[in-house]
Amino acid sequence: GCRSEEQFREVLREIEAEVQRRKQLIHQSVERRAVISKCYKPKHPEVYTLQDSFLAPEFLEIVRFCTSPGADLQGLLRYLESFSDKRIYRLPVFTEEFCQAFVDELENFEQSDMPKGRPNTMNNYGVLLNELGMDEPFLTPLRERFLRPITALLYPELGGACLDSHKAFVVKYSLHEDLDLSSHYDNAEVTLNVSLGKEFTEGNLYFGDFNQDPSPVPQYVEVEHVGARGLLHRGGQIHGALPIASGERWNLIVWMRASAIRNQLCPMCNRKPELVEAEGFGDGFTEPLGEEEPQTVNVCAL
Looking at residue 192, its pLDDT comes to 98
Looking at residue 294, its pLDDT comes to 54
Q: Is residue 290 part of a domain?
A: no
Q: Is residue 268 part of a domain?
A: no
Residues in the chain: 302
Residue 211 is given by DSSP the state T
Q: Is residue 205 part of a domain?
A: yes
70's CB contacts (< 8 A; 6+ apart) are none
Distance of alpha carbon 192 from alpha carbon 232, whole angstroms: 5
Q: Is residue 275 part of a domain?
A: no
The domain spanning residue 204 has which CATH number? 2.60.120.620
Looking at residue 264, its pLDDT comes to 92
Q: Is residue 302 part of a domain?
A: no
SS3 content of the chain, % helix, strand, coil (to 5): 35, 25, 40
Q: Is residue 239 part of a domain?
A: yes
Q: Is residue 4 part of a domain?
A: no
Number of domains in the chain: 1
Distance of alpha carbon 249 from alpha carbon 251, whole angstroms: 7
Q: Is residue 79 part of a domain?
A: yes
Looking at residue 184, its pLDDT comes to 84
Residue 93, amino acid: V
Looking at residue 204, its pLDDT comes to 85
Asked if 32 contacts 118 with a C-beta cutoff of 8 angstroms, the reply is no
Q: What is the pLDDT of residues 125-146, one digit of tens each?
A: 689 999 999 999 999 999 999 9
Looking at residue 175, its pLDDT comes to 58
Q: Which residues of the chain have pLDDT under 50?
A: 179-180, 291
Q: Which domain holds residue 21?
A: 12-263
Looking at residue 291, its pLDDT comes to 47
Looking at residue 93, its pLDDT comes to 98
